[in-house]
Amino acid sequence: MAPELSVAEQAALTSGRDAWHTTPVESAGIPAITVTDGPHGVRLTANPADMLRGQPATCFPPAVATASTWDPVLLWRMGEALGEECRSMDVAVLLGPGINLKRSPLGGRNFEYFSEDPLLAGVLATQWVLGLQSHDVGATVKHFAVNNQETDRMRISADVDERTLREMYLRAFHRVVTQARPWTMMCAYNKINGVYASQDPWLLTQVLRDEWGYEGVIMSDWGAVADRVAAVAAGLDLTMPGPDNGGDKALESAVDDGGLDKVLLARNAARVAALVDKAAARRPFSYDRDAHHALAREIAGRAIVLLKNDALPGDERGLLPLDPAAAGSIAVLGEFARTPRYQGGGSSLMNPTRLDNALDEITASTSATVRFAPGYTVSDGLGDAAEAGQDQDLLAQAAALAGDSDVALVFVGSEHETEGADRTGIDLPAAHLALIEQVTRANPRTVVILSNGAVLATTPWDAAVPALIEGWLLGQAGGGAIADVLFGRVNPSGRLAETIPLKLADHPSYLDFPGEHGHVRYSDGLYVGYRGFDSRELEVAYPFGFGLSYTTFGYGEASAVSGEHGLEVRVPVTNTGERDGREVVQLYLSLPDSAVTRARRELKAFASVDIEAGQTVEVTLTVARDDLAYWDIRLDRWVVEGGEYHCHVGASSRDLRATAVVTVAGDEIRIPLTADSTLGEWLEDPRGAQAIGQVFGGLAGEDSPMAAFFADPTMMMFLRATPLSRMGNFQGSPLTPETIAKLVAAAND
Ligand code: BGC
């Protein structure tokens, strides 16, 4: 369709009509389609000029919570439900999911992102996209790429070495692109190694299209494009928002004066036209609000992570779950129980169809008397911001109520997480810390429930708290989900998708976040999150992958086999407790004798499995061979290193229950020898050794001036580390530039 369009029409198609629509080309029968945020709900504004307030739609749990389910099936169901809501609102493309890594706990958009691990983020997002697109609604995988902070977000250059880029920051994108074929991708605001993502031919064309085979539309983030012509040339199809008449004209002129190949513009416009065409398959739908609310509650319940559940002296079991039939009294403390924090701020902010709060849900769940005290004030009831105000009277009232009740449930959390601003620390607000302190002093039977979009420090105050629930931001049905877990209707199975450190300064990103003067150095390299903590053997508060349950699980012996397609690891897992439950079985690989730097262990597969009390399930974890590979900077490609891989199966990155060792055959690689290769490298390479032997053979004889060198182990140690080109300087060396050129030709040809 698009190639027949005029250049002006093509240019118009490659920018939006307004904030939320593509530009129609009526003469060619190309209508406008609606795109809207995303990611955890459909935030469709009634008026295109309104950038923020959406019409009511289900506010599902944000990614910080859904990631903690570690359950791809649940993510598929959420995507599918979002597809229904998109159809009901005539939305063609939903702007999500956001899959960037959580490099630092301070990242302002961490609540919108899944994990510090690319496999977990990639697997979950893949299913979300497949679920959504099963309704002929397109997903937008964002923000491509290396969008890990909000500070100076529209200009900052994320300076990352290529191996880290490939193995960490691009890997989840690769998985989703190749396995779910998202209709659209959104490029990031930031620069990568000095080049704007929106104008980066390496990123958008070489990697995404040529290497990964991506065929969909690449759109810009809102306002990310600095130079339309450069963006189109780099492979960006759609600049948002619109209108951008100036940019459209600049494209026309560039085509006229030869500054832009007209084929490129035509191709990009054709991709937008194809997207519009594809969206036409979508049929209207009306979804069941109650069913979606129930799904939001189910997902939220599965996202909650039980961090601590100690038995108090004299008790046989942990404080939780509470017995719904028990008489007595429960103190519900903290304004968040009544005014929930359930989502973050910025473009993902939803206007929910309804909003549960934990206080009402707890009251409805128990025969006990429930009394409430706010403990602190919050400034805003929207759910995205809540500046905590400390009030001595409120504090005293809450402590008194705790002292006069059988159990105290304390709701605290972070004040605010939002797009546009990074956090300044990971501590709870002072008013919340004071509440915990006073309540635990008044009543040791205290449960703390956290609401937060990114990790909070739990040390040292958690020592005084027997039960601790990580409740993240749980969406509109979070209140009910918290009650479900407190009273045992849901047996917690959430696991941490990000490490909770003892303190911020321990975090691998700490020294280089958020950068300065337009640059942020990714000095933590491959050691993002638990990879850094585990490699440096640093103590953490709660490790990656961790989460308790109301039952317990035992692991049997693991076995592993390696084949041409990768690895398969099996392990029997038994529910050794008295309640049915769900275990997230995690597989971490290490290669202790690796020739390249590697994290001590890396998550390579996981399975979320339902296991009835007393039952044993044989769990199979598979790792595709591609997922074993590291990025080799010498060859500019992925390489599977051969060797003995240790397959650790466990319940967190620090709780490894069974290990199987398996030998993997490596890829055959050959690094071309050059004048700059050392003598050692030449000698290790069979062809190199042969060529070198021919030159040095005679000379290494007794009369040769080099003989003494070759015979002396110390000298040999130095020689082995010396590039051939530098050996010409040694007396008696036959290595002239000409000889070296011949050697290089002989070894490589
Ligand atoms: C955000 C995107 C969002 C877009 C449209 C941008 O500010 O970075 O994630 O989809 O706005 O609201």
CATH code of the domain in which 323 resides: 3.40.50.1700
Q: Pick from 100, 205, 125, 182: which is nearest to 522 by CA?
A: 100
Q: How far, in Å, from the CA of 65 to the mean position of ligand 1?
A: 20
**Which candidate, 135, 120, 256, 65, places its Cα nearest to that of 608?**
120
Instruction: Give the range of the structural domain holding residue 151, as residue numbers without chain letter.
Output: 7-279
Going from the Cα of 464 to the center of ligand 1, the distance in angstroms, rounded, reads 41
- Beta-strand pair 369-373/329-333: parallel
Tokens of 506: 């321990």
- Is residue 107 in a domain? yes
Q: What is the CATH number of the domain that holds 179?
A: 3.20.20.300
- Is 734 in the same domain as 609? no
Among 21, 36, 37, the mutation site with the greatest number of ligand 1 atoms within 8 A of its Cβ is 37
What does the pLDDT read at residue 381? 45
What are φ and ψ of residue 101, in 5° steps? -70, 150
Same domain? For 275 and 293 the reply is no
Ligand 1 pocket residue status of 87, Cβ below 6 Å = no
Q: Is 602 in the pocket of ligand 1 (CB under 6 A)?
A: no
**Cβ–ligand 1 contact at 221 (below 6 Å):** yes
331 and 230, same structural domain? no
Residue 491 resides in a domain: yes
The predicted-structure confidence for 6-40, as pLDDT tens digits, reads as follows: 999 999 999 999 999 999 999 999 999 999 999 99
CA 179–ligand 1 middle distance (angstroms)? 24
Give the contacts of 663 (CB within 8 A, at least 6 positions apart). 562, 642, 643, 644, 645
Three-state DSSP state, 649: strand
Helix axes 245-256, 262-279, angle to 10 degrees: 140
Which parts of the chain register pLDDT below 50? 1-3, 381-383, 385
CA pair distance 94, 388, nearest whole angstrom: 33
| Alpha carbon distance 737, 255 (integer Å) | 49
Tens digits of per-residue pLDDT, 215-230? 999 999 999 999 999 9
Last-in-domain residue among 610, 632, 664:
664
Cα gap 128→99, rounded to integer Å: 11
Same domain for 308 and 275, yes or no, is no
Asked if the bond preceding 201 is cis, omega within 30° of 0, the reply is no
Tell me how many domains the chain contains. Answer: 4
pLDDT of residue 387: 59
342: nearest Cα among 332, 356, 353, 331:
356
State residue 570 phi and psi, 5-degree precision: -120, 145
347 C-alpha to ligand 1 centroid (Å): 5
Last residue of a domain, one of 481, 499, 517: 499
pLDDT, position 731: 74
Question: 707 with 637, same domain?
Answer: no
| Residue 99 forms part of a structural domain | yes
| CA gap 205, 215 in Å, rounded | 10
Residue 524 forms part of a structural domain: no
State residue 663's pLDDT score: 98
C-beta of 171 in contact with ligand 1 (< 6 A): no
**CATH of residue 604:** 2.60.40.10
48 lines ligand 1 (CB under 6 A): no
User: What distances in angstroms separate CA 476 from CA 41, 271, 380, 743, one per listed residue?
Assistant: 10, 36, 16, 70
Index of the ligand 1 atom closest to the CA of residue 98: 9
Q: Are residue 336 and residue 236 in the same domain, yes or no? A: no
Ramachandran sector of residue 285 (left: φ over 0; alpha: ψ -120 to 50; beta: rest): beta
Same domain, 263 and 314: no
Residues 648 and 714 grouped into a single domain: no
256 in the same domain as 400: no
Interatomic CA distance for residues 138 and 126, integer angstroms: 13
pLDDT of res. 701: 59
Residue 204 maps to a domain? yes
- Confirm or reject: Cβ of 222 under 6 Å from ligand 1: yes
How high is the pLDDT of residue 516? 97
Both tokens of 162, joined, read 């290529």
CA distances from 561 to 298, 574, 588, 715 (A): 36, 22, 15, 44
pTM (predicted TM-score): 0.96
Tell me, yes or no, whether 17 lies in a domain: yes
Residues 6+ apart with CB under 8 A from 722: 678, 679
Same-domain pairing of 172 and 239: yes
Both tokens assigned to 255:
């085509």
158 contacts 192 by C-beta, under 8 angstroms: yes
Judge if 329 and 230 occupy the same domain.
no
Cis ω before 61 (30° cut-off from 0):
no
The half-sphere exposure of 579 on its side-chain side, counting CA atoms within 13 A, is 14
Q: Is 263 exposed, middle or buried (0-12, 13-18, 19+ CB in 10 A)?
A: exposed
Q: Does 131 sit in the ligand 1 pocket, CB within 6 Å? A: no
How, if at all, do strands 93-94 and 138-144 pair?
Answer: parallel
H-helix or E-strand containing 206?
none
| Residues 182, 239 within the same domain | yes
User: Which helix or strand (DSSP H or E) is residue 34 part of?
Assistant: none
Alpha helices in 472-566 (DSSP H): 478-486, 530-535
Tracing tokens 């958690």 back to the chain, one arrives at: 462
Nearest alpha carbon to residue 89 among 134, 36, 128: 36
Cα–Cα nearest to 308, from 300, 316, 323, 318 = 318
Q: For residue 544, tell me if it sits in a domain.
A: no
413: left (phi over 0), alpha (psi -120 to 50) or beta: left
Out of 51, 95, 112, give the residue to mutate to test ligand 1, the one with the largest number of ligand atoms within 8 Å of its CB: 95
- Closest Cα to atom 9 of ligand 1: 347
Positions marked active-site:
221
Residues 6+ apart with CB under 8 A from 621: 568, 569, 570, 571, 585, 587, 604, 605, 606, 607, 649
- Counted residue by residue, the chain has a size of 749
Of 220, 247, 279, which residue constitutes the final position of a domain?
Answer: 279
Q: Is residue 123 included in any domain, yes or no?
A: yes
> Would you list the DSSP string of 44-73?
-BSSTT-SSPBPP---PPPHHHHGGG--HH
Pocket probe mutation, ligand 1, options 112, 221, 349, max atoms within 8 Å of Cβ: 221
* Position in ligand 1 atom list of the atom nearest CA 112: 9
